Structure 1
Amino acid sequence: MAERFEDLRAWKTARTLTNRVYALTKTKDFENDWALKDQIRRAAISVMSNIAEGFESRTRSLFVDFLGRAKASAGEVRSQLVIARDQQYLNAEEFEEVHDLADKVSRQLFNLIQHLEQSDEPGHVRELPEEYITD
């Protein structure tokens, strides 16, 4: 059982994604494109923040709603990574690594949402059983 949002696999993946986005956007290539740099960072932060905010919310339905927002932000990160790749701010390897992280957290969130919507268990939010994990 997840007792804190920090225990959730999706939040841990989102944290890794955010750290990689920050590291990649510190490069000279992103220096002059402050709009893209700011937007991709905000989107990555939003993934983490919405998972945390939803977990701390009052109801399961609010949690699911916040997870949906986090998933949408993960999609936004993926789209912005494509822009960064098209502008040659990222090489193919950097793009694939971070895009895969954004895709992974999106799949984890989808599976967690499905699990929560289908579960009849009241009370605390439980972490997904192993068979729902997307690596």
Structure 2
Amino acid sequence: MARDFKTLEIWQKSYALALALYQTTEKFPSHELNNLTSQMRRAAISIPLNIAEGCSRQTKRSFMQFLSYSYGSIKELQVLIRFAKDLKYIKLDEFVRLNNELDGLGMMTFKFMTKVENDVWLSWFKK
């Protein structure tokens, strides 16, 4: 049975968030292109990428590892947007919106990981 990552709500939300982060970083100073801009973009896109890659894995353990990478990237991105706010690259209201989205995505990802760990999604994997 093929596992279509695009059907997962955590993938859909993380993909939309990555697009939003790319737009946000468009406004950053050009001297940040190879620094903060690049780091934020890599962290943002790694969230849906790791979910997609995890869906291609054949074991629960491997899938969980990629979900864990996504969760780590969410936390990394929360630090990076705070840093961008403190540098005055993003406004407070945008920081609050992005941080709230990341909080929600983090909770959703953690809950999904719990379901996978508790074998709710076991039918996805070979035994």
Asked if TM exceeds 0.5, the reply is: yes
Residue in structure 1 matched with residue 85 of structure 2 by the alignment: 85
Provide TM-score, normalisation by structure 1.
0.85
**Worse overlay, 4-13 or 97-106:** 97-106
What percent of counterpart residues are identical?
28
Deviation at 1:48, TM superposition (A): 0.8
Aligned CA distance change for structure 1 residues 100 and 120 (closer, same or farther; 3 Å): closer
Aligned CA distance change for structure 1 residues 121 and 52 (closer, same or farther; 3 Å): closer
- Give the Cα–Cα distance (whole angstroms) in 1 for the partners of residues 88 and 122 of structure 2: 49
Q: Structure 1 residue 23 and structure 2 residue 50: aligned?
A: no
Higher percent of residues as helix: 2
- Give the Cα–Cα distance (whole angstroms) in 2 for the partners of residues 43 and 15 of structure 1: 12
Deviation at 1:58, TM superposition (A): 1.1
Aligned CA distance change for structure 1 residues 32 and 45 (closer, same or farther; 3 Å): same
Amino acid at match of 2:31: N
Where in structure 1 do 4 or more consecutive aligned residues deviate above 4 Å? none
Aligned CA distance change for structure 1 residues 50 and 86 (closer, same or farther; 3 Å): same
Deviation at 1:120, TM superposition (A): 5.7
Whether the aligned pair in 1 keeps the contact of 2:115 and 2:121 (CA below 8 Å) is no
Deviation at 1:121, TM superposition (A): 5.5
Q: Cα RMSD between the aligned structures?
A: 1.6
Provide TM-score, normalisation by structure 2.
0.90
**Worse overlay, 87-96 or 113-122:** 113-122
Residue in structure 2 matched with residue 107 of structure 1 by the alignment: 107
Spell out the pairing of 1:114-129 with structure 2 (5 A cutoff).
Answer: 114-119=114-119, 122-124=122-124
Deviation at 1:10, TM superposition (A): 0.5
Aligned CA distance change for structure 1 residues 32 and 73 (closer, same or farther; 3 Å): same
Report the 3-state secondary structure (helix = DSSP H, G, I; strand = E; otherwise coil) of the residue aligned with 2:26.
coil
Q: What is the aligned length?
A: 123
Report the 3-state secondary structure (helix = DSSP H, G, I; strand = E; otherwise coil) of the residue aligned with 1:58.
coil
Q: Deviations over 1:78-110 (max 9, x none)?
A: 000000000000101111111112222111110
Q: Which runs of 5+ in 1 are unaligned?
A: 126-135
